Every structure is written in C-alpha cells, then in structure tokens.
C-alpha cells in the first residue's frame, strides 16, 4: 500500500461498505427494540480503527474488555469487510474450519439468494482482519467474516463510491442481520 502525501484514498469499499452494512444492522436492531422485540442475548455493535496497522482498535478492545463483559460469554463475532464490489449475487464468508455454519447460512440465505463460497479465516488471501483479535482471547468464539473479495481498487485512490453496488451491501447486511439475530436469540451455543 503506497500512500502518497496529499492523495485521497476514499476507501468506499474498504472499509466504507462494511461500515454501512453494520450501521444498517444497528438501525434494524434499534427499530425492533422500539417495538419491544429483542433477542435473548445482548448484541454489541462496534467499529474498529487501524486494522491495517496491526488490528490496533480491535486488539485494544479485547485486551481491555469492559468489566461487565466476559470473553467466555462472547459467542459470535461477525465482521463485514469489503462487501460492496464484484459480482452482485456472490459473497465469500470466512469461518473457522472447526465450526460448521454452512447449514445455518444456507437456511438464512434462502430469501436473499447469494451464491456463497466459504474460506478458512486463518488461511486465505485476505490476511488477518479485526475478527482475529477475538479468536486470540477465546478460541471458542465463532467467527463469520463477510466479504465480496479483492479488486483492483483495493487500497487505491480509485476505491470510490460510484463503484459500490448498494444492493449488494444491503443484501449482505440482511444476511448478516439474520445470522446475528439467530445467534443472539438461541438459548445456548
């Protein structure tokens, strides 16, 4: 990543698209809560900074968890990272190979219709992302990382808003919401 001084790197896909997806999920959860509908477990919505500098934001968070949070009670981390590019109905989802989330994702995806490919979050072309910090503190945490994959504008000034597929961002957020709601509402995992 060669950053030139004075050149703008908009980051519309990395990391704007994932940020927008998380905001959509937060809004949906808030609207349901206004209606008195909430899952059995708490859902934490968070945004991390400085991923490219060594996962600084997420690593700091997990190393300094608030006293009311127990790392052993975190059951799922969903990471939305670069979800707005490439083919409209294709999405890649990273999981740990020890967990089997494919059946759940297939069921949740029925009305959305993505062609889902899976990758191992520890051995992939993308490298580490913020979900890795959580796995380091508790390997029992299930992790899902949604991404539409790399493209020529990755970490370039050409990663601009006009290349984002907003329908895809919406649909990835819907799928991630359904999965997060399921995990937050089941009795025990």
Count the neighbouring beta carbons within 10 Å of the beta carbon of residue 16. 19
Q: Mind listing the pLDDT tens digit for each residue in 49-96?
A: 766 666 677 888 878 888 888 877 888 889 898 999 998 899 999 887
Please provide the DSSP assignment of 97-146 as one string: TTS--HHHHHHHHTTT--EEEEEETTSSSS---THHHHHHH-TTSEEEEE
Kindly report, residue by residue over 88-126, the tens digit of the pLDDT.
Answer: 899 999 887 645 678 889 999 999 999 999 887 766 666
Report whether 101 contacts 183 (CB < 8 A): no
The answer to whether residue 189 scores a pLDDT higher than 60 is: no
Determine the Cα–Cα distance for residues 123 and 116; give it in Å rounded to an integer: 18
93 in a structural domain: yes
> Domain with 44 in it: what CATH number?
3.40.630.10
- The tens digit of pLDDT for each residue in 6-31 reads 788 888 998 899 999 999 999 999 99
Q: Decide if 146 is inside a domain.
A: yes
CA dihedral defined by 17, 184, 94, 81, rounded to 10 degrees?
A: 20
Within a domain: 72: yes
Residue 147 lies in domain: 12-185
Digit-coded pLDDT (tens) for 166-182: 999 999 999 999 999 99
The answer to whether residue 90 is domain-embedded is yes
pTM of the complete model: 0.87
pLDDT of residue 11: 87
5 in any annotated domain: no
Is the pLDDT higher at 90 or at 142? 90
Number of domains in the chain: 1
Give the Å distances, CA to CA, from 11 to 54, 118, 120.
Answer: 18, 24, 25
**Does residue 7 sit within a domain?**
no
The stretch 177-189 carries a mean pLDDT of: 84
């Amino acid at each position: 990543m060669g950053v030139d001084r004075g050149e703008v790197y908009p980051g519309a896909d990395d990391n704007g698209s994932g940020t927008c997806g998380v905001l959509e999920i937060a809004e949906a959860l808030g609207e349901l809560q206004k209606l008195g509908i909430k899952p059995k477990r708490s859902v934490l919505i968070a945004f991390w900074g400085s991923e490219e500098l060594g996962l600084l934001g997420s690593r700091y968070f997990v190393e300094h968890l608030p006293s009311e949070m127990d790392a052993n009670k975190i059951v799922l981390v969903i990471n939305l990272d670069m979800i707005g590019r490439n083919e409209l109905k294709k999405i890649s989802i990273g999981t740990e190979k020890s967990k089997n989330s494919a059946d759940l994702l297939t069921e949740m995806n029925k009305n959305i219709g993505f062609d889902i490919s899976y990758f191992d979050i520890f051995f992939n072309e993308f490298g580490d992302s913020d979900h890795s910090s959580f796995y380091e503190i508790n390997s029992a945490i299930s992790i899902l990382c949604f991404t539409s994959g790399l493209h020529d504008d990755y970490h370039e000034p050409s990663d601009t808003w006009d290349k984002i597929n907003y329908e895809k961002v919406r649909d990835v957020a819907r799928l991630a919401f359904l999965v997060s709601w399921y995990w937050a509402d089941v009795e025990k995992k």
